Homo-oligomer: A and B are copies of this chain.
Amino acid sequence: MADADTQMLIADMAARARTASRRLAAMNSDAKHRALLAAAAAIRDASDAIVAANAEDMAAAEASGLSGALLDRLRLDAGRVEATAAGVEAVARLDDPVGKLIERVERPNGLVLTRVRIPIGVIGIIYESRPNVTADAGALCAMSGNAAILRGGSEAIRSNRAIHAALAKGLEAGGMPVDAVQLVSVTDRAAVGAMLTAEGAIDMVVPRGGKGLVARVQAEARVPVLAHLDGLNHTYIDRAADPAMARDLALNAKMRRTGICGATETLLIDRGFADPAPVLVALADAGCELRGDAEVRAIEPRVVASSAEDWDTEYLDAILSVKLVDGAADAMAHIAAHGSHHTDAIVTEDASTAERFLAEVDSAIVMWNASTQFADGGEFGLGAEIGISTGRLHARGPVALEGLTTYKWVVRGTGQARP
């Protein structure tokens, strides 16, 4: 398609989404809940068709030489389709933030002001590979009363179309407007550009994918972006840490899953901590490559030499940079200089040191005596997440339904004119 045609396509989708969003905003929680259950059922019913469409995507991806990890993300089987349907049901069970009272004030002149949560309006989701995002993100938007415009990767287009067809059919059968969740059916990249510059038509864009995608979205967007950039997370072992806890948390924070954004990438160890060797031994024994300077290598010979870039590298792999520091202040200075404001943890038995760390470290999530791998909407009790925001405004950290809402001021009077 020509770029102008693509822009018209997105503008038309956004206009229909706006109309749908007005109806969605007026739906109550029960009605949205029922529509999502109908959508989950429709996805189950369409399982064979979805798996068949996915097989075509897989064949094309294999032919074009897509890598093994990407192929695995793309793959759907009956079990993954069932998990996708179950995920939609989980979203349907979430507490609906729309209509919630944030505050109520009665003014001396008798005006009653309330601030109430409402949907944002039209949300664009730009994502890669995993076709289940089509259902997850669509369900989260719909449950929070927002219309969604979904733009998945071209490698998953057949899978996305099949999932979207089932989802949309179910939502409509359940009483939602037909344009509640729309899928951009063209695969040219101009569609992403058109979404990112649709100020006023699309209210927020959420990119879900690798750094390349997120960086492109942040660079080009004129629409507000709810984005997750880096997870360059630190675990700091204080002099007052319990040695066994320090070892277990460092191991879990790095090695439980190395590819998630909550994984620890740099371990800071207080020079006053008496027992650093077992921590490094446990990590090395678990197959983690450790990088540090001569001082760290003196503790554990398997540590390899670090370079300056290590402190600024999100490995997303079984690699950990290790640094000795002089207490919490030094650790916090390192985090301020090199962290990505995502998740940082302290291990200590000293409550006052811990509280200082929690107060002063400027990250979306700060933890005391817990693994950074808990940085996750599900673990936070949000039930699901549209993403983890590393921005500072609107929503920080794991974002679920509440982050997909805004508020309005409702003023009720009895004829008050302003003096």
Q: A37-45, A281-289, A358-366: which lies at the B interface?
A: A358-366
Pick the contact of A417 from B111, B113, B118, B252 — CB < 8 Å? Answer: B252
Find chain B residues with CB under 8 A from A248 CB: 415, 417
Pick the contact of A113 from B22, B249, B253, B380 — CB < 8 Å? Answer: B380
- Does A410 make an interface contact (CB < 8 A)? yes
Most chain B C-beta atoms within 10 Å of own C-beta, residue among A105, A414, A415? A415
Nearest Cβ on chain B to A110's Cβ, whole angstroms: 9
Nearest Cβ on chain B to A87's Cβ, whole angstroms: 20
Find chain B residues with CB under 8 A from A392 CB: 120-121, 203-204, 224, 406
Q: A160-168, A169-177, A299-307, A393-401: which lies at the B interface?
A: A393-401
For residue A412, which residue of chain B has the nearest CB? B368
Question: Which secondary structure dominates where chain A touches chain B?
Answer: mixed
Pick the contact of A381 from B105, B203, B380, B416 — CB < 8 Å? Answer: B105
Cβ B26 vs Cβ A374 within 8 A: no
Which bracket fits the contact residues of A?
Answer: 35 or more
- Does A315 make an interface contact (CB < 8 A)? no
A393 to B146, CA, bound (A): 14
Cβ B107 vs Cβ A381 within 8 A: yes
Using A252-B418, A408-B366 as known contacts, say yes or no to A360 and B26 having CB atoms under 8 A apart: yes
- Does A256 make an interface contact (CB < 8 A)? yes
Using A363-B408, A392-B406 as known contacts, say yes or no to A416 and B374 having CB atoms under 8 A apart: yes
Find chain B residues with CB under 8 A from A363 CB: 408
For residue A367, which residue of chain B has the nearest CB? B411
Find chain B residues with CB under 8 A from A418 CB: 252, 256, 371, 373-374, 379
